[in-house]
Structure 1
Amino acid sequence: MTMNAPGGEAPPKLLVEGLCKRYGATTALDPTSLAVREGEFLTLLGPSGSGKTTLLQLICGLVDATEGRVVIDGRDQSRMPVHQRDIGLVFQHYALFPHLTVAENIAFPLKMRGRPSAEVAKRVDAALGMVHLGHLAARFPRELSGGQQQRVALARCFVYQPSIILMDEPLGALDKKLREHMQIEIKRLHRESGATIVYVTHDQEEALALSDRICLMNHARIEQLGSPREIYERPRTAFAADFIGISNIFRGTFATGASRIETPHGSFALPSDATPVGEGGALVVRPEHLRLGAADGGHVTGIVAEIVYAGSETRVIATLSEGATVTLRLQQGETVPELGQQIVAGWPRDKAVLVS
């Protein structure tokens, strides 16, 4: 069945409708709906047990859904086996064939699909060029570094141009520097190929660096879906604010229609665009918006407990009453207080975000 998008918009490349997975009394994924656009890089982000890998496995067919459906290019593929879904898979473990050369590994999915030899050779050359490994085509996996092996795995997936590419923590086994390099490579491959990618990670910095949109998951459901900037700057819940980046979170109560929130650390002004719902919530202030001195949004008083020099910035961690802490992110040139010094840290009213 072919599906048409409302309002004349292009239909989504991937549509997940009410997808759910239960194991007896345990729910691995609550009923979930999600649309992924053609050429989009969508990241499923969340802690262990949040449901992100289960959702990925349901999309590709490695796990059968309890209910719901998966629609790719307008066709319901919920009951199709993995090998018929035209989905490419890249895992944390490269799963390269040790007895095949780099070129032979990349050619494998094309040969399995019965592509002509001339086409195989042309596509393999193009894929080797995309990942800058043409000079290593005759080597075996054991002769490659971890980053080179991961690039071979990526090329093997991209080479047969699947409808959707699913990546399950593909950089998890790499060290920090190599992981950051491979993030750039994946971003470039996505841009050059125009592929639709669904990517799973628990690394927030990786999600922010790579994604067009982030699907933040928690307790087997979607917590928030939006662009990296939206989720970082406008989190909707305390969990989202706490999981993405560093946050100073002040929980408190307010009267209906109030313009301030009352917390154990003081009474603070709500952002001008905030609409309080219920009797309580939390005010989120990112470290880069917290500055030494009072401000119109509010301020707290604390004792400097840690100073962390990080090159382009210095993080200052101050202890408040009852053991709570706040983090300030000071840029080069700003005055850095001393350990044990009492400081006042404040923020502009409209740099804070009210969350549930």
Structure 2
Amino acid sequence: MLAKPDQANQPKLLVDGLAKSYGPAVALKPTHLAVEPGEFLTLLGPSGSGKTTLLQMVSGLVAPTQGRLFIDGRDETQTPVHKRDIGLVFQHYALFPHLTVAENIGFPLKMRGLSSADIQKQVAGALEMVQLGHLAGRFPRELSGGQQQRVALARCFVYKPAIILMDEPLGALDKKLREHMQFEIKDLHRKTGATIIYVTHDQEEALALSDRICLMNHARVEQIGPPHEIYARPRTAFAADFIGISNIFRGRVECGADGATHLATASGRLRIDGDNLANDAEMALVVRPEHIELGSAGENEVRGNVAEIVYAGSETRLLVEVAADERVTVRVLPGKPLPKLGENITLSWKPEAAVLVTP
């Protein structure tokens, strides 16, 4: 359990055992989380994993069933939403249709009683930050989706809240614009040093934006860490399967008398590395597509028939059927020879390139 931090070395946000239930339905199990000043933390997970519930409790839109919430060391658990120093950006931009771009951005400053001169100065800075100065006099209906989203971002950043919460802010955009706006948000974060908590179900978005990812599943935190750590060293089969493309071989541990340890799977016996493994324990071996070689190039080998060949631009993906209802995805870079559809091939990898996880 997290304790209230001392004032000299405190996180920006401290979630201390927050939980939420609606009668018998558990929306979020007791959760402990610390977010550092200036950090970009992404809450990632499938629908129903608890990520939006956690965000809503941080914002004050939903009251927790139990637990406490600290912002800058202050207990804000019972503070109403309008009195928390928090900015909100949603998927639907919620711009005022009767106000211009400049007036929309200046609205939160006006509500805080700033002078007209101060509002004008800060709005000009925010417009420059999102590169919309030439559109200051337009109305939301005259803007594209990406421009409207930038206005919503500027309106949130302009009054410098302690924490900025973003709930699927790019969900309504097409793929190309979504990728462009990811860079916009990352640049804004870099320029402002804001503390951001971002909710998404898009794994690529989480990998691209985050300092850390909090992966959630079944109303609890599954794993938390930097993007490269969660991708390269997942702790569970769910984490491996949800983030990136993974090949997961499930089976039982076989501890040999010679000290070698294998995992008995439907695709064969695979050499594994691990300490204190119990014989006959159920485990799963995760191998990323980029670590698998065509042919006998590693200690672990499986054979199968090429079921699909998928061209993906910068790479070609092979789907190889290695056992009944079990396919392996292999990444092949341009210039390398490709097998034919239906061809029986050997796949291999080095034991250290795989990760052993709980199933």
Fold match (TM-score > 0.5):
yes
Alpha-carbon contact 2:16-2:33 (below 8 Å) kept? yes
Evaluate the alpha carbon distance shift between residue 134 and residue 229 of structure 1 in structure 2; reply closer, same or farther with a 3 A threshold: same
Letter in 2 for 1:323: D
**2:26 — aligned with what?**
27
Which residue, out of 329, 337, 357, partners 1:355?
357
* The 10-residue stretch of structure 1 (247-256 or 151-160) with the greater mean CA deviation from structure 2: 247-256
- CA–CA distance in structure 1, aligned partners of residues 84 and 265 of structure 2: 52
Alpha-carbon contact 1:258-1:276 (below 8 Å) kept? no
- CA–CA distance in structure 2, aligned partners of residues 233 and 5 of structure 1: 34
1:323 Cα offset (Å): 2.1
Q: What is the 5 A alignment of 1:87-102?
A: 87-102=86-101
Tell me the C-alpha RMSD between the 2 structures. 1.5
Which residue, out of 299, 322, 325, partners 2:324?
322
**2:80 — aligned with what?**
81
Alpha-carbon contact 1:297-1:349 (below 8 Å) kept? yes
- CA–CA distance in structure 2, aligned partners of residues 188 and 277 of structure 1: 48
- CA–CA distance in structure 2, aligned partners of residues 208 and 293 of structure 1: 31
Letter in 2 for 1:85: R
1:239 Cα offset (Å): 0.2
* The 10-residue stretch of structure 1 (253-262 or 109-118) with the greater mean CA deviation from structure 2: 253-262
Query: In structure 2, the residue corresponding to 1:254 is in which secondary structure?
Result: strand
Letter in 2 for 1:210: L
Which residue, out of 311, 334, 337, partners 1:335?
337
1:294 Cα offset (Å): 2.4
Which residue, out of 267, 270, 273, partners 1:268?
270
- CA–CA distance in structure 2, aligned partners of residues 283 and 310 of structure 1: 26
Identity %: 67
Evaluate the alpha carbon distance shift between residue 26 and residue 155 of structure 1 in structure 2; reply closer, same or farther with a 3 A threshold: same
**1:147 — aligned with what?**
146
With the length of structure 1 as denominator, give the TM-score of the two structures. 0.96
How many residues were matched structurally? 352
Evaluate the alpha carbon distance shift between residue 277 and residue 314 of structure 1 in structure 2; reply closer, same or farther with a 3 A threshold: same
Letter in 2 for 1:90: V
Cα distance per residue 1:161-210 (max 9 Å; x no partner): 00000000000000000000000000000000000000000000000000
Q: What is the 5 A alignment of 1:170-209?
A: 170-209=169-208
Evaluate the alpha carbon distance shift between residue 258 and residue 22 of structure 1 in structure 2; reply closer, same or farther with a 3 A threshold: farther
Q: Does 1:126 align with 2:128?
A: no
1:276 Cα offset (Å): 2.6
- CA–CA distance in structure 2, aligned partners of residues 304 and 275 of structure 1: 36
Alpha-carbon contact 1:274-1:354 (below 8 Å) kept? no
Evaluate the alpha carbon distance shift between residue 147 and residue 258 of structure 1 in structure 2; reply closer, same or farther with a 3 A threshold: same
Alpha-carbon contact 2:6-2:73 (below 8 Å) kept? no
1:349 Cα offset (Å): 1.2
Evaluate the alpha carbon distance shift between residue 274 and residue 189 of structure 1 in structure 2; reply closer, same or farther with a 3 A threshold: farther
Alpha-carbon contact 2:5-2:11 (below 8 Å) kept? no
Query: In structure 2, the residue corresponding to 1:43 is in which secondary structure?
Result: strand
**1:58 — aligned with what?**
57
- CA–CA distance in structure 1, aligned partners of residues 101 and 266 of structure 2: 61
Which residue, out of 283, 286, 296, partners 2:285?
283
Alpha-carbon contact 2:253-2:278 (below 8 Å) kept? no
Cα distance per residue 1:319-349 (max 9 Å; x no partner): 1221210000111121111111111111111
Query: In structure 2, the residue corresponding to 1:200 is in which secondary structure?
Result: strand
Query: In structure 1, the residue corresponding to 2:324 is in which secondary structure?
Result: helix
User: Which portions of structure 1, spanning 4 or more consecutive aligned residues, are displaced by more than 3 angstroms?
Assistant: 2-6, 255-258
Letter in 2 for 1:254: V
- CA–CA distance in structure 1, aligned partners of residues 14 and 268 of structure 2: 46
Cα distance per residue 1:17-71 (max 9 Å; x no partner): 0000000001000000000000000000000000000000000110010000110
Alpha-carbon contact 2:254-2:264 (below 8 Å) kept? no
* The 10-residue stretch of structure 1 (261-270 or 237-246) with the greater mean CA deviation from structure 2: 261-270
* The 10-residue stretch of structure 1 (136-145 or 287-296) with the greater mean CA deviation from structure 2: 287-296
Residue segments in structure 1 that go unaligned for 5+ positions in a row: none
Cα distance per residue 1:99-149 (max 9 Å; x no partner): 000000000000001011111111100100110000000000000000000
Alpha-carbon contact 1:93-1:170 (below 8 Å) kept? yes
Evaluate the alpha carbon distance shift between residue 121 and residue 277 of structure 1 in structure 2; reply closer, same or farther with a 3 A threshold: farther
**1:14 — aligned with what?**
13
With the length of structure 2 as denominator, give the TM-score of the two structures. 0.95
**2:113 — aligned with what?**
114
**1:105 — aligned with what?**
104
- CA–CA distance in structure 1, aligned partners of residues 233 and 133 of structure 2: 44
- CA–CA distance in structure 1, aligned partners of residues 10 and 174 of structure 2: 39
Alpha-carbon contact 1:15-1:72 (below 8 Å) kept? yes
Letter in 1 for 2:305: I
- CA–CA distance in structure 2, aligned partners of residues 227 and 66 of structure 1: 29
